[in-house]
Amino acid sequence: MIVRKISRRPPEWQVIERRVKRRWMLPIRRVEWFFEWIAFALSRWSFLEVLEYLGSLSVLIGVIFYFSESGDRVKQRHYQAWQVINTAQGKGGSGGRIEALQELNADKVPLVGVNASSAFLQGIHLERANLLRADLSSADLRGSALRQADLTFANLQSANFRGSDLQDADFGNASLADSDLVATDLTGAKLDNADLSSADLRNANLQRVAWQRIAAIKSANIAGVRNAPNGFREWALKNGAVEVQNADN
């Protein structure tokens, strides 16, 4: 709230001069008295009060415009993130894609069909991401967090998920052929119609994994799998899986 305060009228200079006991203080007091008169004159000028109100009004207008344009700023940010992802398409390295993908996912933007083939995405966090039909083939996703992600129909061939958190992820109809799933946490993961041919599942946590409808598991290495559901090991070996603990890392 703006409070206008009118300054008290300063006394005449003769009065001030008589009050000053030390003569060397007179020049300093004179300057101060001069500014007192300026303050007194300005305090009675209503135009300054109007300017003060206008200043507050401009701040309010600025706040209104800031929030009214917030949607446009979000769209611009998303556009720039997609530009980073698309520009780096087909190239190795990160190219800023980790930050871009995480930002889009944090804003709940679907990543359907995203192409990050051969990308360096080590340690990326894409929990609950919608990666339907995404192409992450040959991507380096070591130590990533894809808990509850939708990876149905995704191309994950030769992707490196070593040590990743894949709990409750949906790999329905996904291609995981030749993928590195060593020491991954696949607790509760859905593998309906997934292709696990030649995948490396050594020491993976298979607790509560939905395995009964896996499409292919030939040549997959299941040595040392942990918490495998009843019947999984026997079924896998019967359908061409192997157990080679000392396979090349």
pLDDT tens-digit series, residues 151-184? 999 999 999 999 999 999 999 999 999 999 999 9
Q: How confident is the model at residue 90 (pLDDT cuts 50, 70, 90)?
A: confident
> Domain limits at 22?
13-68
Residue 132 has pLDDT above 70, yes or no: yes
Task: Compute the C-alpha angle 159/163/165, nearest 5°.
Answer: 90
87 in a structural domain: no
On whether both 232 and 180 belong to a single domain, the answer is yes
How high does pLDDT run on average in the chain? 87
Gap between the Cα atoms of 231 and 217, Å rounded = 14
Gap between the Cα atoms of 187 and 207, Å rounded = 5
84 in a structural domain: no
On whether both 51 and 151 belong to a single domain, the answer is no
How many independent structural domains does the chain possess? 2
On whether both 51 and 97 belong to a single domain, the answer is no
Residue 37 has pLDDT above 80, yes or no: no
Gap between the Cα atoms of 171 and 149, Å rounded = 9
